[in-house]
Amino acid sequence: MVEERVTTVEPAAGQPAAPVHTTIITDDRSRGGSPGWFVGIIILLALIAGIYFLTSMSKTEAAKDNAIANAATEVGAAAKQAGTAVETAADRVAK
């Protein structure tokens, strides 16, 4: 935002005529650089936090999938043992 001030000095009534003096001051320095950096840092931190949570969720999903696979393997092993027990019992009954 540019700020411009104009000051005009004229001689007072009854004073000898003097040239009119005009001063123009223009200030066009950029303002608001600090809030821009602050917002940028906040966005960067939010992005890092989002990536962290997404990767941790992926690890959790992988752990859940591995647990399900291990449980299925154990159920299969238990079923095989039950089948063997049934075959043994059937052989004993048949004799």
Q: Where are the beta strands (DSSP E) in 39-88?
A: none
Q: Map tokens 């004229």 to a residue.
A: 10
Q: How far apart are the C-alpha atoms of 83 and 75, rounded to whole Å?
A: 12
Looking at the DSSP bridge assignments, the partners of residue 9 are: 21
pLDDT at site 49: 93
pLDDT at site 63: 84
pLDDT at site 2: 56
Q: Are the C-beta atoms of 46 and 30 separated by less than 8 Å? A: no
Q: At 82, which helix (H) or strand (E)?
A: helix 33-94
pLDDT at site 20: 59
pLDDT at site 39: 86
pLDDT at site 43: 93
Three-state secondary-structure class, residue 43: helix
pLDDT at site 38: 85
pLDDT at site 19: 61
Mean pLDDT by 10 residues, the chain (95 residues): 63 65 64 74 92 83 87 90 88 79
